Structure 1
């Protein structure tokens, strides 16, 4: 094959045209038709057939000359399939015996390397080292076939057959094409068919599915030095220490805020402040409805005036009448009772209007949420927070709990500022999980921002990246799957 070859200009033009036709094919079927039929314009032959045998699938007769489509039920196509399968089987058997030291074993190895389908993958499947598949055309003879298949050779084929393997430059096998005719094949024809075979294999590679990650993994883990290195690298990677981390929703909350509560049972009449409004001590915050208390105070005032007048009259009559002296003590007690009632209603009425006990920012959702709402004594209405004194509150889901301890670090990534990050140190972790507003059962984690730099604004929300202990990478990857499996299996 390495001897100089002279090719006529007309044959070179036909060779170029066939290569162009192969590159222009829109499908494997079109390309197969071109291979087995249009090659006749360059090299004379009686019949041709394409055996499609990719490395990952069983082979089949994909195209036959003179037919628009291969019919698997046709007797000729069935014989071709038996013939090619016999050659592939013979190649596997010969390759398995290639390890012997005698001359027969060496010859079998040579035939196996040249037989159709004797690819690296087929040999590897038999547990032996494999060589690259042959890319040179060679003549097929009766010796390549079992007697049962070779008996029908003369029925379907003339004497001389040429096998042209289709193997791309990466070593992928696409089977091969067999050409048969009455006269022997010349060296020049073999060279031209070998050139066309490279073009056809390259074109078929464009239609082949892309290698999946599993196929690449199998290729990487083939027996040999590469597999040992890959397994060693994988083992080292599995024990590589990595920090056990978890993500949790978080928000910036006030630290040590002043809770403003409802002083009485009643209905909130109006709010004097707006959310996030800065207030000073004494600033009115909200007021309860005073209608009922004002009525009670008016009644108590009227009762006090009446009791006072009755006591005055009884005291005047007691000067001249001993009987009225006993009645005066009763009137005095009633006067004192009405005085207490009047003072109580006056104090309650004075507490209707709530003012700020200290300065800060009013923290609550919306004025409309509270206006007209009935509250009970001690119910929280709002917070007064210092904007400069904030902390981070994270909600660690139960499923993601990594046994975080106080003193561990975390990083806040605000949603409103994707380029900013704030480090914090965990102070406390709730011992009991509670439902969040989103309905997720989570542990509340409190953390203080580290350093004296800029702090996030009160109310900022984001994601907390909580850092745990160092663990092997294998544990980090398999922690959640193992937890799920244990919950299902109960072990």
Structure 2
């Protein structure tokens, strides 16, 4: 059988001026060359560096059998590992490999390795992580390492050395741009980008919103006291004069009983003095005082009777009762004039939105507002902003926002009270680049103080 021979790639022999050669039978050589050409074609046709790394540590086994293959940088960062989808840099194995590649960073050419070729600190962990024999192949800023139990023969070293050169070329090829962009294209792209950046757009602000009564009648506590019971439910329809809530009458009833007794006593003293003044001059002088005292007690009784009559609060008009939970009011002390609920026309509604502090500067009275209700997101409602609160308030969700009121434009379409949604408030027309960069620039200035 015909044999083919070629020089050995051993750098030490070449440097010494001695040319060694090794031979292989022609069928074996042709098969190895075909596999090498196939792998070389796949490497040079790869589109990404990760594909090149995968082929280098996994598919080289078709040329030369090995147990482990590693591609790493000369600073020790692991790029790819045979048979593994992740790079174990933070593991003991990855840390040891990083130290090994940093130690071999200055190696100029392919070099077979064993544990005996390393310093004791590195050689101590060799048996734990690698087979007995290894081949180190530098690629410039990176290097390949193949390891197995048997020594690498000269033909194996020659094939893997050539493969390393192909891997190096493929890695550099995918790292650089595939094609250059002409100045005309750059200029055209700049003009198009500038045109897009200056494209006029309308600023808009999104804010949570809901339907609220436009002209509610506020029902307040008529007296200072404690709410005894609430006679209506939230959003219940009420008629004019219907009982809404009642204050506790215990205190007023007791005070009225005492006042009536004091009035009876004062009137009896007055009548007694009036009868005695005919015979007693001293009693005659007491009559005006006792008469005034009796009138004072009578006035106190009338005041308590009027207050007792007002502990029951009635609806001032027909509509729906607008408040939260009756249990929140029962037993709660109230002062004179404190709001308990409101009575509103269910058809007379407007939009109330809450705009964040950072966005309120772009909202103006008269701005267009579009309300997208959660129950009907495909049927937006149009409105006009009528008022923007000057001062921000803390909402129940702990956010700070400004209250914005808007009047619905369509008088025939009115959302039900309490329906919630999202309002989009339109502002001025600005370039697209300003609309995109406004918030990032605001955040940057707040953080840097410039």
> Which residue does the alignment assign to 2:196?
237
- Residue 288 of structure 1 and its aligned partner are, at CA, apart by 0.4
- Residue 240 of structure 1 and its aligned partner are, at CA, apart by 0.4
For residues 221 and 404 of structure 1, what CA distance do their matches in structure 2 show?
Answer: 47
> Which residue does the alignment assign to 1:251?
210
Q: Is the contact between residue 220 and residue 227 of structure 1 (CA under 8 Å) also seen in structure 2? A: no
For residues 261 and 46 of structure 1, what CA distance do their matches in structure 2 show?
Answer: 96
Q: Is the contact between residue 370 and residue 380 of structure 2 (CA under 8 Å) also seen in structure 1? A: yes
For residues 317 and 154 of structure 1, what CA distance do their matches in structure 2 show?
Answer: 147
> Which residue does the alignment assign to 2:296?
337
SS of the residue corresponding to residue 436 of structure 2 reads: helix
Q: Quick one: which of 271, 277, 285 aligns to 1:318? A: 277
> Which residue does the alignment assign to 1:383?
342
Q: Is the contact between residue 360 and residue 387 of structure 1 (CA under 8 Å) also seen in structure 2? A: yes
> Which residue does the alignment assign to 1:145?
none
Alignment of 1:24-39 (within 5 A): none
SS of the residue corresponding to residue 393 of structure 1 reads: strand
Q: Is the contact between residue 55 and residue 174 of structure 1 (CA under 8 Å) also seen in structure 2? A: no
Do the aligned partners of residues 420 and 41 (structure 1) sit closer, same or farther apart at CA in structure 2, a change above 3 Å counting? farther
> Which residue does the alignment assign to 1:418?
377
- Residue 415 of structure 1 and its aligned partner are, at CA, apart by 1.6
Q: Quick one: which of 75, 87, 94 aligns to 2:111? A: 75
SS of the residue corresponding to residue 413 of structure 2 reads: coil
Using the TM superposition, name which of 222-231 and 307-316 deviates more: 222-231
SS of the residue corresponding to residue 264 of structure 1 reads: coil
Do the aligned partners of residues 40 and 388 (structure 1) sit closer, same or farther apart at CA in structure 2, a change above 3 Å counting? farther
Q: Is the contact between residue 280 and residue 356 of structure 1 (CA under 8 Å) also seen in structure 2? A: yes
Q: Give per-residue Cα distances to partners, 1:155-192, cap 9 Å, x unaligned.
A: 9769xx99xx99xxxxxx7899xxxxxxxxxxxxxxxx
1:66 aligns with 2:78: no
Do the aligned partners of residues 47 and 260 (structure 1) sit closer, same or farther apart at CA in structure 2, a change above 3 Å counting? closer
> Which residue does the alignment assign to 2:314?
355
Q: TM-score, normalised by structure 1?
A: 0.61
Q: Is the contact between residue 402 and residue 468 of structure 1 (CA under 8 Å) also seen in structure 2? A: no
- Residue 351 of structure 1 and its aligned partner are, at CA, apart by 0.8
Using the TM superposition, name which of 258-267 and 39-48 deviates more: 39-48
1:394 aligns with 2:353: yes
Using the TM superposition, name which of 442-451 and 61-70 deviates more: 61-70
Q: Quick one: which of 287, 304, 325 aligns to 1:366? A: 325
Q: Is the contact between residue 230 and residue 245 of structure 2 (CA under 8 Å) also seen in structure 1? A: yes
Q: Which runs of 5+ in 2 are unaligned?
A: 1-26, 72-103, 105-109, 113-134, 144-153
1:306 aligns with 2:265: yes
> Which residue does the alignment assign to 1:275?
234
- Residue 47 of structure 1 and its aligned partner are, at CA, apart by 8.1
Q: Quick one: which of 299, 305, 323 aligns to 1:346? A: 305
Q: Is the contact between residue 220 and residue 230 of structure 1 (CA under 8 Å) also seen in structure 2? A: no
> Which residue does the alignment assign to 1:138?
none
Q: TM-score, normalised by structure 2?
A: 0.67
SS of the residue corresponding to residue 417 of structure 1 reads: coil
Do the aligned partners of residues 80 and 156 (structure 1) sit closer, same or farther apart at CA in structure 2, a change above 3 Å counting? farther
For residues 30 and 429 of structure 2, what CA distance do their matches in structure 1 show?
Answer: 69
Do the aligned partners of residues 346 and 55 (structure 1) sit closer, same or farther apart at CA in structure 2, a change above 3 Å counting? same
Do the aligned partners of residues 389 and 40 (structure 1) sit closer, same or farther apart at CA in structure 2, a change above 3 Å counting? farther
For residues 368 and 314 of structure 1, what CA distance do their matches in structure 2 show?
Answer: 54
SS of the residue corresponding to residue 407 of structure 2 reads: strand
- Residue 224 of structure 1 and its aligned partner are, at CA, apart by 4.7
Corresponding residue pairs, total: 340
1:473 aligns with 2:441: no
Q: Is the contact between residue 251 and residue 459 of structure 1 (CA under 8 Å) also seen in structure 2? A: yes
Using the TM superposition, name which of 51-60 and 371-380 deviates more: 51-60
- Residue 42 of structure 1 and its aligned partner are, at CA, apart by 8.2
> Which residue does the alignment assign to 1:48?
36
For residues 65 and 253 of structure 2, what CA distance do their matches in structure 1 show?
Answer: 106
Do the aligned partners of residues 327 and 448 (structure 1) sit closer, same or farther apart at CA in structure 2, a change above 3 Å counting? same
Q: Which runs of 5+ in 1 are unaligned?
A: 1-38, 86-152, 167-172, 177-207
- Residue 80 of structure 1 and its aligned partner are, at CA, apart by 8.6
